[in-house]
Chains A and B, each alone.
Chain A
Amino acid sequence: MQRIIDFFLGNKLRLLFWFYLLIGIGLTTSQNLYFKSSYLNTSGQISGGIHLFFSGIGDYFSLAAENKFLSEQNKVLLERLTALEKPGLNQNPAELKKNFEYINGRILKNSFTGLDNYLTLSLGKKDSVFTDMGVVNEKGLLGIIEFSGNSFSTVQSILHSKSKINVKVKGTDYFGSLIWDGKKPNRVQLTDIPDLAPIKKGDTIISGGMSSIFPENILVGTVEDFELTAAKNYYLIQVRLFNDMQNIGPVYVIKNRFKKEIKAVENNSDE
């Protein structure tokens, strides 16, 4: 017994080091989604308030009001645009307008230099913002809500190693996945486009509309460079983002009114 106690006392520092190290590595690399989401959610709620305070310091009264007015106006315009761009055959325009609803908010904390970047958004469940909703601004795609708390949400940026968004080449029906290699914050990669696709530099990449998260035709970026992958069947395309991820401005959360129905139909067809 004495020896055990002596061992612990003698190696106190080393044991403490291993203790903290294991907690740290456990927290950092945990693959348990429930644990990760509750942890990030809690930390997001704490830091959200602090970020709100600091970002508030820079807002002058008149500017804030003006910004709000502009972003309200944009919201209306964006809703009308989506309704106009994809008129269905049997729907009347009044119903169409309701397919996608835009909720305007702002980014309190932005990051783009890590490998897994998250943004903190000023909206939460009380603004009816929930997990898996898309986030955009006027220039294009930003990311998808990963966790939503009561007043703040955490957005998984398109600059995240696990981000994978369905996009297509404008004017064609070739769909691919948008990923990020972690190098430059203004350049993302498009994969899974077959070598048959007529790609050229300067082509526009837009959202594909294959998921219930983003509507079709949201801007992403332009083709900067492309090459065939080692397997020679698919292109690896370098896409320059329209968005400046360092300077985001007002953002909009996209809410799909028929998401539940779409999910229900998908689940039924799986069974």
Chain B
Amino acid sequence: MNRELPIYLPIKVILLILIQAFIFSKMALFGFISPMIYIILLYIYPTHKNRSLWITWGFLFGLCLDILLDTLALHATVLVFMAYLRPKVMRVIFGLNFEQKSFRIQQAPIAQRYAFIATAVFLHHLIYFSLEAFSWSKWMLVLEKTFTTGLFSFIFSLLLITLLSPKKK
């Protein structure tokens, strides 16, 4: 089956919200780490689509999570940030290839893909925990949480991507 059909995207997005809210946010590795895997939205959402629509989707997706997790609008704000930053991050990591219409993240070399996910996770977590703390005095805690939670988010994101991506023929 062709997994690039447009119908698959909304299904994947709804699945991501449910998996995040009901599995990963209820997880507590070592008692305090809840991985944030919904960041792979940045990986699965097509790059050549309308960018204003993409920012709007980012905001709405985040707001759905916020309502489920009682986090005011934290996820929504961070996703708007990430949606806006994505093209800039991609230009740094994928170089000029990214400008072409036929470009797909999924088809890029494996090292570049991993680098992209790692950068996205790091930026996302840093902004998320800074906003959550919202004070300079807690910078140590913010960094600590960014690195510990980030590491597990990265690992679980990779696993999920492998699970969601089509098999190579």
Contact = CB atoms under 8 A, between A and B. Distances in A.
Same assembly: yes
Interface string A1-39: 000000000001100110011011111111000001001
A111 interface: yes
Interface in B5-30: 22, 25-26, 28
A184 interface: yes
A28 B81 contact: no
Interface residues of B, number: 36
A47 B28 contact: no
Contacts of B99: none
B4 interface: no
B55 A17 contact: yes
B68 A50 contact: yes
Contacts of A40: 70, 72
B47 interface: no
Interface in B112-169: 131-134, 138, 141
Contacts, number: 100
A53 to B, nearest CB: 10
A20 B56 contact: yes
A24 B80 CA distance: 9
B55 A16 contact: yes
A43 B70 CA distance: 7
B74 interface: yes
A221 to B, nearest CB: 15
Given A17-B55, A20-B56, A20-B80, A185 B73 contact: no
Contacts of B67: 43, 46-47
Given A47-B70, A182-B138, A111 B52 contact: no
Interface in B28-79: 28, 31-34, 51-52, 55-56, 58-59, 62, 66-74, 76-77
B80 A21 contact: yes
B84 interface: yes
A28 B28 contact: no
A69 interface: no
A258 interface: no
A40 B66 CA distance: 10
A44 interface: yes
Contact of B28 (A17, A20, A185): A185
A69 B22 CA distance: 28
Contacts of A24: 59, 62, 73-74, 76-77, 80
A44 B31 contact: no
Given A20-B76, A50-B68, 11 more contacts: A24-B62, A25-B73, A28-B73, A28-B74, A28-B77, A28-B131, A29-B134, A40-B72, A47-B67, A110-B26, A118-B70
25 contacts: A13-B52, A20-B56, A20-B76, A21-B80, A25-B73, A27-B73, A28-B134, A40-B70, A40-B72, A47-B68, A47-B70, A51-B68, A54-B22, A109-B69, A110-B26, A114-B71, A114-B132, A115-B132, A120-B70, A154-B70, A182-B138, A182-B141, A184-B31, A185-B32, A246-B31
Interface of A: 12-13, 16-17, 20-21, 23-30, 36, 39-40, 43-44, 46-47, 50-51, 54, 109-116, 118, 120, 154, 182-186, 246
